[in-house]
Amino acid sequence: MNRRINFTLLIVFAAASLWCADGLMRKNDQAAILAGAVDLARGQIQPWSAYYQFDKTYVLYGVAGAILKAVPGADPVTAANIGLALIFWTSLAVFIARSRERLSPAVLLCVLASPAVLFNTSYVNSSVLSSAFLLLCGAFVFRTDRLSSWLAALFYFLAVGSRSDVILLLPLLLWLGTPIPESGNFREWFSNLWKTDARTSLPFSNLWKLTVAGIGALILGPIFAGGAGMALDPFFNWKMVAGYTVFGFGAAGMLWGVQLVGLGRLVVKNRAVWPVLYGSAGLLALLIPVLFFLPQLHAPRYFWRGCEAVLLLSVTGRLPQLNRRWVAIFALAAVLPLLVGVRLPQLNQPQLTVTSPTCFPSGDGFYPMGAYGSFLWRLHHADVESIDHNQRVWTAARQTVFQPLENGTVPVLYTPMSGYLLLSASLRGQIAVRASFEELPAIGFYVDSRSLMRDDPKNPVGALNRILDMPVEFVSPESDGIGILRVGTGRREWGAQTKLLSRCFNGNEYLVYPADQVRPGDRNFIFFSKKDFTGARYDSLSGLYWSGKYPAAVRTDIFFAQAVLPSWMSLQAFKGTD
């Protein structure tokens, strides 16, 4: 019965995932990886060190490149999105089939409904492919036959090669494959590691294969790339941790917490030394995949490893099965946010909604505060109506015709959005080279305007003020003020305008519209123009007139700028200086 329900859940969530995958561009890293995959598919390969985090995701590049090579006439974004999604859902189907009746449908529902998983299976990213291989590893690792042990090691190698932080789950896999000590005799327990106990353990050689495979994949990446890239990116903020946990980990996080408590109780109740140490090791192994990311929690997707830990622990029978009351609680906690969300124009003004939840920023674009079903609808239509800056920048980049330098390369300023320019150039058969301002030519390099229109505490654009003092011209269509700029040619007015708006919005992100397209709402806004209008103030630095009030009459020369996020999500509130 459990297996039938699990497959029903898989079909429902897989259908939603594939429905959203068509042409979905979700984040800059996706574009950067696709740029490398396009190069691999066409045989136009640059040095491995030129590709984004190649040392940690080299298997992902290979698989994505193979997908694009297999369907050369298809849209590369759609083909790669759907290809990786199919690999993931097929792997999960194998995992469910091999787990037989041990996997609780409530556990699977909590994991699949977790935003960390739900919103990240529809586009190219390292988490979805690494999870696919880890699930295949989990389907075989708890079998005692030799073929299964080799398959488990192979899939674990591919998982770590797809995203290196899968190595964080190695302690949990080893712990789950180690026999439960039934006495305090360490010598007897250790000698049993070399034997096969089909109920609770694996042969010790199987655990060694898994260890060697994981560490081998970890070492191989830097060898390929000619050195290791950045491994840690600390950026701790307790507000982000709290928000991402509630609206990222979700019901799976509740289940993870219950499993922690369950393991803790087993440790406390046991009096024998070695069983206590064994239980403590399991507790630590379950903590590692979550605690590792808390000091660098840039997106809710980082809880994906915690979701996998929940699945692995659940199918091994190490904890008591959930009773009906707990099943109902977790099922409700998983399903309710799919239907109902929260709208927060101000922190003290919460409102329930089913269609318009407040969205918050992350390294993977915007995430909603509940009402996940309506957000899936928005993901499906993201190519028509942008969800956030990612779709706007990509729309502009793919319509940009680059003028290469004499050496044939396209110079691109290194920004948090530069991956979109890399992909656009790769699709045109060109090679884009990202560099800092000091390393770029004085005239003719490219940059997305969005990166210059905000202060970024994590990825500040070097020499921002110097760039804004230079002449620029848009070489792509604009979408709400966002487009691709060619720096060094054109006029200086845009830089002056950007300086004014950055001051007015205190460095917070904003969008620009014609005045006749005013967007009413709960965001800060201003009107500005080159010509005077009623109630406007003159800014001598930019030569523009501006006002924080609605003008008496709308003219074609007046523009409307509005903050992207509500004031309680501002940089000042984030830093605690507001």
Shortest CA distance to 263 belongs to which of 241, 242, 285, 248?
285
Average pLDDT over residues 213-234: 82
Split at pLDDT 50, 70, 90, the class of 262 is confident
Do the beta carbons of residue 141 and residue 99 sit within 8 Å?
Answer: no
pLDDT at 189 > cutoff 50: no
Cα separation, 91 vs 87, whole angstroms = 6
**What pLDDT, on the 0 to 100 scale, is given for residue 198?**
38
pLDDT at 39 > cutoff 60: yes
pLDDT tens-digit series, residues 113-127: 999 999 999 999 999
CA distances from 326 to 322, 333, 562 (A): 6, 10, 45
Cα separation, 178 vs 400, whole angstroms = 56
pLDDT at 348 > cutoff 60: yes
pLDDT at 248 > cutoff 50: yes
Element (H, E) at 487: strand 484-487
**What pLDDT, on the 0 to 100 scale, is given for residue 237?**
78
Cα separation, 476 vs 424, whole angstroms = 12
Question: In degrees rounded to 5, what are phi and psi of residue 319?
Answer: -120, 155
What DSSP letter does each residue of 406-459 carry, written as one string? TTSEEEEE--TTTHHHHHHHHHTT-EEEEE-GGGS-SS-EEEEGGGGSS--SSS
pLDDT at 102 > cutoff 90: no
Cα separation, 330 vs 566, whole angstroms = 31
Please tell me the least confidently modeled range out of 240-244, 275-279, 517-521, 564-568: 517-521
Going by C-beta distance under 8 Å and a sequence separation of 6 or more, which residues neighbour residue 286? 172, 256, 259, 260, 263, 309, 313
Please tell me the least confidently modeled range out of 185-194, 407-416, 524-533: 185-194
The full set of domain ranges for the chain reads: 2-184+193-339, 390-491, 495-578
**What pLDDT, on the 0 to 100 scale, is given for residue 197?**
42
Do the beta carbons of residue 333 and residue 258 sit within 8 Å?
Answer: no
**What pLDDT, on the 0 to 100 scale, is given for residue 182?**
58
pLDDT at 281 > cutoff 80: yes
Shortest CA distance to 530 belongs to which of 546, 553, 512?
546
Do the beta carbons of residue 412 and residue 451 sit within 8 Å?
Answer: no
Average pLDDT over residues 434-445: 89
Q: What is the mean pLDDT of the chain?
A: 90
Better-scored residue on pLDDT, 191 or 11 = 11
Better-scored residue on pLDDT, 144 or 191 = 144
**What pLDDT, on the 0 to 100 scale, is given for residue 460?**
73
Count of other CB atoms within 10 angstroms of residue 404: 16
Cα separation, 163 vs 140, whole angstroms = 20
Please tell me the least confidently modeled range out of 237-241, 280-284, 393-397: 237-241
**Secondary structure of 126-194 in the HEC alphabet?**
HHHHHHHHHHHHHHHHCCCCHHHHHHHHHHHHHHHHHCHHHHHHHHHHHHHCCCCCCCCCHHHHHHHCC
**What pLDDT, on the 0 to 100 scale, is given for residue 231?**
62
**What pLDDT, on the 0 to 100 scale, is given for residue 287?**
96
Q: Which two tokens stand for residue 367?
A: 């995430």
What residue type is 268 in one-letter code? Answer: V
Q: Which two tokens stand for residue 76?
A: 């590369």
Cα separation, 122 vs 164, whole angstroms = 21
Q: CB-based burial of residue 271 (10 Å sphere; 0-12 exposed, 13-18 middle, 19+ buried)?
A: exposed
Split at pLDDT 50, 70, 90, the class of 42 is very high
pLDDT-above-70 percentage for the chain: 93
**What pLDDT, on the 0 to 100 scale, is given for residue 394?**
98
**What pLDDT, on the 0 to 100 scale, is given for residue 190?**
45
Q: Which two tokens stand for residue 440?
A: 């770029």
pLDDT at 59 > cutoff 50: yes
CA–CA–CA angle 27, 93, 209 (5° rounding): 85
Q: Which two tokens stand for residue 515?
A: 């005045």
